[in-house]
Amino acid sequence: MRPDLDAIRARWQKRNHSFADMDEFQRHARTDTPALLAYIDELERRTTYTVGETEWAHRIAVAEQRFVDEYDLRKTAEREIAELKARITTLEALKEKQ
């Protein structure tokens, strides 16, 4: 059920005009807030996506995951390279001692 959005906007705009209006505003806020949240839930349930939108969202998600995976692999490779360079340095130092 759609709440009276115009009435809610009018109450919201006059909320700070006087202390006498504040009690009325708070009383309405107790009913306006749940009504607006229920309306938002209803709109979200009715929202559907086209096949194209769903397909593009899936493609984007797959591309983002590939990017993350490639980034992780790159960081792993960089760590392995650093470890190998350290081992090479150690082995060269041992070789010079002999």
- Closest residue by Cα to residue 16 from 29, 3, 6: 29
Give the C-alpha separation, 10 to 18, whole Å.
Answer: 14
Choice between 27 and 85, residue whose per-residue pLDDT is larger: 85
Q: Give the pLDDT score at 90.
A: 94
3 state SS of 48:
coil
Give me 27's structure tokens: 């009383």
As a whole number of angstroms, the distance between CA 10 and CA 35 comes to 16
Place of tokens 């650093």: 82
Tokens of 97: 């001692």
Domain boundaries, the chain: 1-47, 50-98
The tens digit of pLDDT for each residue in 34-92 reads 888 888 888 878 878 787 888 898 999 999 999 999 999 999 999 999 999 999 999 99
Average pLDDT, integer, range 3-25: 67
